[in-house]
Amino acid sequence: MKMHTVVEKAQLQRKDRNHSVEDAVLIGHGGYVAPIPFLWDDILISTSLQKNVLLKGPSGSGKTKLAESISEFYHQPMHSINCSVDLDAEALLGFKTLVQENGQTVIDFVEGPVIQAMRKGHILYIDEINMAKPETLPILHSVLDHRRMLTNPYTGEVLQAHEDFTVIAAINEGYIGTSPLNEALKNRFISFSIPYLKGDPLRDLFVREFPEASSPLIHTMLNLSEDYFIQVQNGLLSEEAASIRSLLDATELAQYIDPLRAIQYAIAEKLEDDSEKELVIELAKTWLK
């Protein structure tokens, strides 16, 4: 499909920039395979239009891989923040410190990820944004709306974001320990559901990831993945039983050890419920006979 001109223009502009060696290390490695044809293009159009993007999906659905692929696409360094209840303003913005300069002690400000990404026009990846305490993130409200600016509370400096500055956030909805995203924060994002891969796109990913694997093994794992999907829909398995991360891990191990044990370690053992563990193994046995 032809790339939209807004995306082409943004890509040319961003790719054309030079980055220091330190920053270039932060450019991601691509490889995300889209589960639905227009998803990748729609996300690129949103980021080209300076929209903040929220990726909503279960564990191992490729949210981080997608963000890295966007970083690669624009050849744009990406700073990551992992949210937790301990996340505070300093972890986002930075902190003051004392440094020696020509024999004198002076105060210096060490820039955190938000300030660096805004100033340098990089990508800011905010992972598990719903794990942060609700009172921490409002600091970012002015950064995330049309103002694209921030008054640094530690220095008093007013910072206007670089035109390439891009925000991508990820959430795993309903996960233990998460709080519902505050409305004003959620309102500042364009939201995309990121489902687990299946069907032809999953086959494409397998062919690429496991060029050495036997075709019966690939066939088995793809069929098994479909079975797990059906049982998730039937309510007999938790969603994570169909995680692409787990499926890829199981397939990789299965090239070296008994596939049933590989499935046990990579998929079954992660499920809470004993009946779910059993079902995962029973379904695997039907394909591995």
Ligand X SMILES: Nc1ncnc2c1ncn2[C@@H]1O[C@H](COP(=O)(O)OP(=O)(O)OP(=O)(O)O)[C@@H](O)[C@H]1O
Residues binding ligand X (CB under 6 A): 31-33, 57, 59-65, 172, 197, 205, 244-245, 248
- Select 64 or 130, whichever has its Cβ closest to ligand X: 64
Q: Residue 79 binds which entry of Mg ion, ligand X, none, with Cβ cut-offs from 5 to 8 Å by kind?
A: none
Q: Residue 245 binds which entry of Mg ion, ligand X, none, with Cβ cut-offs from 5 to 8 Å by kind?
A: ligand X
Q: How far apart are CA 229 and CA 224, in angstroms?
A: 9
Asked whether position 225 contacts Mg ion by CB under 5 A, the answer is no
Residue list 97-116, contact with Mg ion (CB under 5 A): none
- Select 40 or 165, whichever has its Cβ closest to ligand X: 40
- Select 23 or 209, whichever has its Cβ closest to ligand X: 209
Q: How far apart are CA 75 and CA 285, in angstroms?
A: 44
- Select 71 or 150, whichever has its Cβ closest to ligand X: 71
Query: Cβ 33 to ligand X, closest distance in Å?
Result: 4
Q: DSSP secondary structure string, 141-202?
A: HHHHSTT-EEE-TTT--EEEPPTT-EEEEEE-TT-TT--PPPHHHHTTEEEEE-PPP-HHHH
Cβ atoms of residues 189 and 170 within 8 Å: no
Q: Which one of 4-12, 60-68, 131-139, 270-278 is the stretch in contact with Mg ion (CB under 5 A)?
A: 60-68
Strands 104-111 and 94-101: antiparallel
- Select 52 or 251, whichever has its Cβ closest to ligand X: 251
Question: What is the SS3 assignment for 63?
Answer: helix
- Taking 3-state DSSP, the helix, strand and coil percentages for the chain, each rounded to the nearest 5, stand at 45, 15, 35
Report the length, in residues, of the chain: 289
CB-closest chain residue to Mg ion: 64
Q: What's 17's DSSP letter?
A: -
Q: Residue from 46, 47, 48, 64 that binds Mg ion (CB under 5 A)?
A: 64
Binding site for Mg ion (CB under 5 A): 64
